[in-house]
Structure 1
């Protein structure tokens, strides 16, 4: 009996000591948020965190526009924590029926004052998503990263082709899918995803343009820092990302990230060589996008150097 009492007292003493340590570290963490480290594990990065919060910002698209690169670059900021995987909450009915508690559980642990960011590129083109996002939080900030729609289409097809080849499934050439009797087939899904003005119009029926920040995906590839500085301002974040956070990897052919002495490059699927498409078919594609692009430029009040 005496040994049981002594053991219980020892356990209580250890718990009290551990609680005191945790409280001290939590107070210290509240005034100085943890910095990004590409080598940190999920358990260590969330050690001082308090709870999972719904996102204050969402990267809504576009597919194959650079959403993963943008997310990883934003994650360099010490006041930002990101959902590591695409959640597909607002565009997959099975997920949406699970409710906000399920959605919150997919988010990272954060400290008070930190911004949670989620990205699912499928949100942009899904008709039901704008209203769903509004119901979650009418004040949420939205990031839309776009690139040349013709190049985006080819990249979209390239990813699908790679997946089919990996699974040893049959496939059609891009030209067969894109052209019907020598003319652009408007029913091709990858083409429809590149009609940015149609999808943005649905978002603007719900959200004001001021709540949607358009990121130039082509510029992000050429020189990441200026685009990241604009994103920081849009998200009301103090400027913490600097040119020193990026270096050009000549082997991969794109910029990689540097933080706290560690580097991080996007996986091998980024920068994958495009599937072949004849110059004649590509020119037809560019001509097809001229009017849609012009409408998109008018909607966002700026233009881009697209084909």
Structure 2
């Protein structure tokens, strides 16, 4: 009984708040166990027992230094923290969630499927699931491509703030004669993608003979990755676009659950589909 009373009394005594700034910053950063963990100011104050004004000041400093990001859902790990090793667990979780969907998509279409994330101004390929033409598609896991030239990249750029697109793509490089390098034209393309509820197309913009249809995987804070189907630049990709939409929604639901954006119907362009279908039939 006496032992129980001592334990209760000891637990009632709060541990002292760490005196140094480094210790306080570490105390806060330790709350973010995973790359997708979000904490509100109230969470941080309650868990660290720091004064609210102190916690808020330190959080602001961590955001300015890119150790954290401040989103609509609260604070989460920022680019600097992820760059020290937090990115790999997040990418592994993403690949695990997407793997069965990507394989099913490849089997159903006999096309190459990509999974990629946005890194700087490039897309970074996390996975590549092949159809018979996999060896003919000039991409590889761990490779990169300019985001503004790919369906994967444009699908993610469409949901970023316009000022970020302006800052990062003002000097966009032309990969092929069809690459979009003019900012005004790029914004028009991104607007078309948003009006199609996120569905992006690319034909010969990155590699002259390759075409793609892609869609972003979106959480509360915007796009975290994208998936795409890859085929011949002359192929009627509109025919398989609904499967890309279904796959993107399935992976988003697996990753984010109820916090994923609501599923919306996608409007496909009709004219190009008829013309490309005719081209494909002529070639078959």
TM-score (norm 2): 0.29
Which structure has the higher relative contact order (CA within 8 Å, separation 6+)? 1
